Each structure stands twice: as structure tokens, then as C-alpha cells.
Amino acid sequence: MGHYRSNLRDLEFNLFEVHRIQDHLDAWPDFDVDTLKDILYELDRFVQGEWSESFVDADRNPPELVDGEVRLPESLKRSLAAAEEAGWTKLGLTAELGGMEVPPTLFWAAQELLLGSNPTAAFYASGSLFARIVYEEGTPEQREFAKLMVERNWAGTMVLTEPDAGSDVGAGTTKAIHVEGDTYHIEGVKRFITGGEHDAAENIVHLVLARPEGAGPGTKGLSLFIVPKYLVNPDGTLGERNGVVATNLEHKMGLKGSTTCELTFGMGKPAVGYLVGGVHDGIRQMFRVIEHARMTIGTKSAATLSTGYLNALEYAKERIQGADMTQMTDKTAPRVPIIRHPDVRRMLLMQKAYAEGLRALWMYAAYCQHMDALDPEGGWDRRSDLLLPLVKGYSSEKAYVLLAQSLQVLGGSGYIQDYPIEQYIRDSKIDTVYEGTTGIQAMDLFFRKIARDQGQTLAALAAEIGEFVKAGGDGDPLGAERGILGKMLDDVQGQIGAMVEDLMASMGGEAERIYEVGLHANSLLESMAEVVIAWQLLRHAEVAHPQADSDPFYLGKVESARWFVRDVAPKIAARRAAAEAEDGRLMALDDAAF
């Protein structure tokens, strides 16, 4: 049996019992519950077999770079070929692009399975995303190019980071030299480019941010260019090699099968690029890719924690060690499975609550995308935007921390490669860095998603959570938990109030007060994520409670929700108190004191 443990039951519970997407399929008339379940069942079969077979091998036998060419392990190429043959790489694309246009909720459920089973392979298989962006943003000629990308299963990359700029994308110096029309020559060096070079596809299409000569500084001066590895002839056949080459392959802690490259453009020969859409609107266009990537990373983190937890649970039920604590002084007492030991049981419920909570978080964000497709004027896009830094930032942080608890359940066995959890930990650490660090997500949350919006989207979300808090009535079995959620919501609003006060003071002459916002932005992201998760898990418990006495699955949903609420509430209160008491002393500390 392979390493991956999926949780189809919880995916279906989220989709069909909590969000009841079967009632919201007007834009997808070809689908019903049975059809959507069939897709998930078939995909689950696939990810348990051919897809996951390269998970370990690509880690132990990573790709190699020789003279600018990267060779992937054969096992990984077989996984990718199987996905292409089965059509999974086209899931979510429109019929115009030759795909299967499924609801966003189903698409992201599918991504959990693909990312949880083999994240390395999933990154290579994301070329359809880049094709969709080119199709939707491109000129008529580029739209035809996008169709070719899908038809021929070409790979794609997002090319932002530069060695000296790092996360400061606007400091990029890669140049775009105009040739004629929408054609440019790109010159510069980019770093940390996922899938930047490999031999699993006949062509790789790079979406590159570069600064046209004469353009202004910062992100507003950047434009987006299509730079294929191989130039394409008018009849669709491949032409000569373009002037983009991998000049380094990073040696990494995890995700070793994923080629993270330094790409050099215009070394020795021109790197021909084509201005996307014929317009200089690069940062907006690229942010469409970035936002999808952030949702992907949040889903990946949740998926990895889920399989880590389920592996630990399986081990805990089978591993016999020690007597029950009530008989620990009896040397003749029978040995029990370690799931009967209090500390192991505590760790398992913690993992269960957070694994299901992270899934509930990205699923709710996917539901907002789903509803936005049905009701574009309903504000769903703004709510989805508000949730995105929570999905990416919080999920990546908590998954990494809690996978250590998955390993702890296995004890010494978890630290060796006989079990997958040590690889899960190595593969997941990058998630807190990918597509903007957690600190960047937190700044985005406060300054863009809350302050710039004047709190309107947040207020609408808070009002809905507040209505849930009040909805129980007398005899409500979740009444105590609703009350705790209400206090959590008050504490988050109190912390936001303190941070807004600091922001206003910084604009009113006390410039250094802005530091106090920065010192607590991460903690606000944590608290907001925990309030949304607690709300969602209590919604789950509300659905599950009537059947909790007869079905252990539903009982588990109720109890994990209760545990989560009680676990996070004191932490949220403490973060509020810390934000309100902040005096900025840390920023005044002499650098030499560190």
C-alpha cells in the first residue's frame, strides 16, 4: 500500500452536507451529486496508484542538471504521462480549451487529492493554469497559442523572483527590449523558478515579469511576457531553442523532485518574449497566477497534514506498547494499542481537529469562488480575497508545526524513511515561504484586504459569524461553543481596533507607530483564521450532531469542533491583549543587542 491516506468522507461531507453544492449547480448543468462523487472516486483511485508511485523515488533520486538540460526520474515522468492520458491535467478548464469545467469546490477537492498524494508531480502538471491565463488575458493570436499549450500538454512556470530582489518584486531589473509589435527580447536572471527546466513536456511556457525600457519603477513598471523554451512555428510545430536556459538547479531540503531553477534570459542568444494581451499590465495579470498559486499552497498544506494525521492514526491503532494507564503498576497487565495512552490520544485529536479545520478553511474559500461564479455581484470575490492570506499563511504554518506531532505519534519510527512523515515535513516547510512568506500574507491581509477595503468585507463576514453565534436558542447542544466563538470574534475585532489605532497614529505624525502594526500582523492572521475555522467547524458540528449517537464519523465531527474552539480561544484573547499593550520597544532596540 502506498503512503497516501485520503479522506474522501470528509471531502464529501464538506461538499454535499455542509455547503450543499448540489443546490448550487445552475452554471454546471451537466453535473449532479452522483457525477461529482464519481469524479472524486475515480481520481482517488488514480492518486492511490500511478500518481503516487513516484512520490518516494523522485525524492531519493532527484533530477539532475547537465549543460542546461534537466532530466527527471523516469518514475516521475510515468506519473505525469498517466495524468495526461487520463485527462486529469485538464480538469477545471473550459470546453473552449478542451477541458472539463467543474465547479470550483470540486476542482479544489480534486487538488487536495493530487497535492496530498504527490505534490511534486502536481506542480509539473499545472500547465493548464498558465494556458488559461494566456487564453483569458491574451491577444487573439495568443489565445490560439493557449489552445496549443493544452492540446500538447506543455508545461508552464511563473517567473518573478530575482536574486537581488527576493520578495520585493518591484525591485526586479530584468529588462524587456522592444523589437517590433508585441515582440521583445528579455534579458536578466530569475531565481527559485519551480519547474523552470525539465524533460517531462516537449515545451515549457514561461510567464515572465520584466521591465520594458523606459518603464517606471516598482511593480507598476513591470509587464508580463510569454517566453517559450522552444519557439513555435506558425503551423504549431516546435522551432529553435529560445534564449532561456537553466544556469543552476537548487539543492533543497524537500520537494527534491521539483526542479527549482535559476533561469538566465538572453545569455548567448536572444530570449524572445511576447507581451501578454499586447498591454503593459503585468502585475495585475501575474497576480491572477499568484492568487491561484497561494490557494494551491494552502490546499497542499492541508492535504499533507491530513495524510500525516491519518498515517499516525493508523499506526496508533496497530502499535501495541505499554499497559493502560489505569493498570500501569500491574506488570502482568495486557499491552494496549498506543491510541489508548492519554498523550497519544491528545496528539491525535489535535491533528484531527486542525486537519479538518484547514480543509474547512480552504473549502469555504472555494465555496466563495463557486458562489461568485453564480452571483458575480454578491461580494463573493471580495470575501474569497479576504480569505486567501488565511488559507495560504495559516495553513502552511500550522501544517508544518502539526506534522511534527504526526511524527511524534510514531516515535523513533517516524524519524526514519520507512514511514512517509519525515518526507512530509521536509516537503511542507517550503509552503510557509512559497508565493509570499507568512509575514507578507499578514501584511496583505491587514493593509489590502482590511484597511484598503475600509473593513467592509470583514464587517460582512463578522456579521454572518455573529448571526451564527446567536442562532442556537434554548437547549442548543452547541450553545457553550457558540458563546466561546462570540468571545473569539470580539477579541479579533479588539485586536484589529488596536492595530487600526496604530495605523492612524502613524499617518498623523507618529510614523514609528506603523511598526506596532507590523509586529502584530502575523498574530492577527492567526486569530482571524482560527475564528473562521471555528465557525466552519461548528457549522459542521451542527450538521453532524443529529447523527452523532449512531455514527462515529459524525461524533468525531462534533467533538473535534468542540476541542478546536476551546484550544484556540485563549490564544486569541492573549493576542488581543498583546496588541493592545504593544509599545514598540522591540523596534527601538539597538541592532547590536541581537
Q: What are the residue numbers of the active site?
A: 435
User: What is the Cα–Cα distance from 458 to 528, expressed in whole angstroms?
Assistant: 10
Exposed, middle or buried, 475 (CB in 10 Å: 0-12/13-18/19+)? exposed
Residue 247 contacts residue 259 (beta carbons within 8 Å): no
Q: Does residue 80 contact residue 147 with C-beta atoms inside 8 Å?
A: no
How far, in Å, CA of 580 to CA of 22, rounded? 45
511: Cα separation from own chain's centroid: 34
Residue 206 has which C-alpha cell?
Answer: 514561461
Is the distance from CB of 497 to CB of 458 less than 8 angstroms? no
Exposure string (b/e) for 145-181, b if CB count within 10 Å is 16 or more? Answer: bbbebbeebbbbbbbbbbeebeeebeebebbbeeeee
Report the candidate in 364, 388, 362, 494 with the shortest Cα–Cα distance to residue 441.
Answer: 388
Give 227-262 as a DSSP string.
Answer: EESEEE-TTS-EEEEPSEEEEEE---SS-TTS-EEE
CA nearest to 137, candidates 37, 287, 360: 287
The CA distance from 357 to 266, in Å, is 47
Give the phi and the psi of residue 333 in degrees, each rounded to 5: -65, 145
> Strand pairing partners for 50?
none
Please report the beta strands in 466-551, taking only residues with DSSP state E, as ranges in sequence order: none
CA angle 539, 543, 544 (to 5 degrees): 115
Place of cell 491533528: 351
User: For residues 206, 152, 199 and 69, what is the CA-based torsion angle, rounded to 10 degrees?
Assistant: -50
For residue 83, the SS3 value is helix
The bridge status of strand 271-275 relative to strand 183-194 is: antiparallel
- For residue 96, the 8-state DSSP code is G
C-alpha cell at 471: 442562532
At 151, the amino acid letter reads E
- 487-507 as b/e: b if 16+ CB within 10 A: ebbbbbbbbbebbeebbebbe
Among 355, 350, 348, which residue's Cα sits nearest to residue 410? 348
Q: Tell which residue, 120, 122, 133, 121, has the closest CA to residue 159.
A: 133
Bridge pairing between strands 204-212 and 175-180: parallel
